[in-house]
Structure formats: C-alpha cells, structure tokens
Amino acid sequence: MIVRPKPNVLGILFSLKGSIAKRIAWRSLLVTLLASVIVLVETLHPAYFSRVNATPFTLLGLSLSIFMSFRNNACYDRWWEGRKQLGQMIIEVRSLIRETQVLGDTPERAGLLHELCGFAHGLIAHLRHEDEVRAIQPWVTVHPSHPNLPDSVLQMLGARLCVLARQGVISEWRYTQLEARLVSLSQVQASCERIKTTPLPFPYTLLLHRTIYLFCILLPFAMAEPLGWLTPVFTAIVSYTFFGLDAIGDELEDPFGFDENDLPCDAILRTLEREILAALGEADLPAAPQPVDYVLT
C-alpha cells in the first residue's frame, strides 16, 4: 500500500511509485504508434478517411466509461471489504489479549497468544497461496494434512479454552466471551476466503478488456482527419486513462497480493506480533513496520 504525503503538482505529474503507468506503458505506446501510422496514411490518402464519423466513438466512449466505473467500484468494494476484515482481525486479537489477562503470566496464556499469532500468519499465507505450514510453525505445531490450517489453529484454540473451562481455570461466562472472539475470527477468515476465491465474473471482465482494446485501436481512424498529427497525443491520453483504469481494477480485485496498491498484510502481521509479544512480557520486539520508498508491504 502506498503511504506518502500529498504530492505537489510536479509530484503528481512525474511520480511513478504506486502509479499504474509502468504496467500499461507498452500497451499505450503501441496504440500511440498505431495512431501515428494511421495519421501518416491519412496524410498520404485523405480520401480514405473523409467519411469516418466520430459520433459513434463518442457514444461508445461514454458507455465504456460508465461500464468501467461499475467494474472499478466492484473491485474497490472488494479491496475495502478486505481492509475491514483485516482490521476486524486486529480488533479481535487485541480483545483476546486483554481478556486472557485473567490467566496471568501462565503457560496457558502464552500458548493461547502464540496460537493467535500462528492463526494470523497462517491466514495471510492461505490467502496468498504461500506455504502455510512454514508460516504457522514458528508459533504452533500443526498437522500439514489438515485441509484448512488456519481453521485448525482456531480449533486448537477452542479446544484449549474448553479444557480451561472444564478445569475451572476460567468461568463459564469468560469461556463464552472468549469463544465469541474465536467465532469472529472464523468469520474474518470466511470473508477473506470469499473475496479470494470468488473473483468478478470472467465474461464481465473479458467484455470490458475487449471493448477497451477495440475502442483504443479504432479511435485514431475517427480522429486522424480532423486532428491530424495531434491524434497520437490524444490517443495516448485516452489509452492511458482506459488501460490505467482497467489495470487498477485488476489490482484491487485481489487485495491480498503483492502489488504496490494491495493491502499491507506484512505490516499488519508485524503489528500483531509486536503486541502479542509485548503482552507476554518480551522486551526484544520486532521493528515496527515502516514504508520503504513510500510502500508499506
């Protein structure tokens, strides 16, 4: 995620960090070169372009803009929902840290908090298709054969709480409160999995991609005769806008990835690590997450 102060005019014009320009540069350049070739042909053979009307392109551009706004809103909603769910995970972990103080400085509390950290690491690895066992093992031992390792950690947490309740270490009321936190963490996991495993309908995205390419390729034919050599300039601006909005939607559709504009999952994990270790009395804490070159990973 990009974390930086609001740039000035020069920063807005020339900043590349966090910009989508690097991903679409070749596409925009090829469309601009095509527009230059079309203008050259129009200059040599103007009769070929005398009857091309720009009205259909105006209507198509307007419709395409509305269509893209719907898709980008849907993609941003997925990013925003992922942000809310990871924020809810932080809330539940902090609440569990506070509520387990009833156990004091005991091995039982240390085990609970280590399993919480293991769950958080396992969930992020699960959403990123990384090695979940490797992410969880530093905090708690899990069985690699389990079909859903983050959920298995929650099951271990629930089993540990059941034992404490049967032994009378925690009251029935306290057990109910702690179990409610685990239910919330399970809801967080299910919501994040829903975002990860259900992308936008493919025909919806495919139709938009095809229409954008057709519009940007055909637009110079309508602009060549009235604009002349200004056509490549306006084509570059239009292609940058449409290709850029399309690429931004692709990034936001999966908010848990490694793109510069994705959610700062590593920073969230580091924050939870620091707070859990501090609650256990550790003095040597990992460094606080900081943006590197304006990027908070």
pLDDT at 182 over 90: yes
Q: Which of 95, 252, 273 is nearest to 179 (CA)?
A: 95
Judged by DSSP in three states, 234 sits in: helix
Across 126-135, average pLDDT: 92
pLDDT at 208 over 60: yes
Whether residue 12 is contained in a domain is answered as no
98 in the same domain as 213: no
For the chain, the domain total comes to: 2
First to last CA, the chain: 6
Whether residue 10 is contained in a domain is answered as no
pLDDT at 114 over 60: yes
pLDDT the model gives residue 18? 63
Judged by DSSP in three states, 295 sits in: strand
Whether residue 65 is contained in a domain is answered as no
User: DSSP string covering 78-141, please?
Assistant: HHHHHHHHHHHHHHHHHHHHHHGGGG-S-HHHHHHHHHHHHHHHHHHHHHTT--HHHHHTTT--
2 vs 186, residue with greater confidence:
186
* Full residue range of the structural domain in which residue 241 is found: 19-51+201-262
Helices (H), the chain: 9-14, 21-44, 55-99, 107-127, 132-136, 149-166, 172-197, 202-227, 231-253, 265-279
Cβ(272)–Cβ(96) under 8 Å?
Answer: no
216 in the same domain as 93: no
Burial of 16 from C-beta contacts in 10 A (0-12 / 13-18 / 19+): exposed
Count of alpha carbons within 13 angstroms of residue 203, beta-carbon side: 0
Cβ(204)–Cβ(75) under 8 Å?
Answer: no
Q: What is the Cα–Cα distance from 166 to 146, expressed in whole angstroms?
A: 26
178 in the same domain as 283: yes
Q: How confident is the model at residue 177 (pLDDT cuts 50, 70, 90)?
A: very high
Across 92-103, average pLDDT: 92
Please name the residue that has the structure tokens 């404490």. Answer: 164
**What token pair was written down for 54?**
């720009």
Q: Which of 16-20, 111-115, 178-182 shows the lowest mean pLDDT across its residues?
A: 16-20
**What token pair was written down for 254?**
């999966």
pTM of the model: 0.87
101 in the same domain as 187: yes
Judged by DSSP in three states, 294 sits in: coil
pLDDT the model gives residue 250? 86
Backbone φ and ψ for 212, nearest 5 degrees, come out as -65, -45
Please name the residue that has the structure tokens 């803009």. Answer: 65
Helix axes 231-253, 21-44, angle to 10 degrees: 150
Whether residue 80 is contained in a domain is answered as no
182 in the same domain as 99: yes
pLDDT the model gives residue 9? 58
274 in the same domain as 164: yes
Please name the residue that has the structure tokens 């014009």. Answer: 13
- The radius of gyration of the chain's CA atoms, rounded to the nearest angstrom, is 26
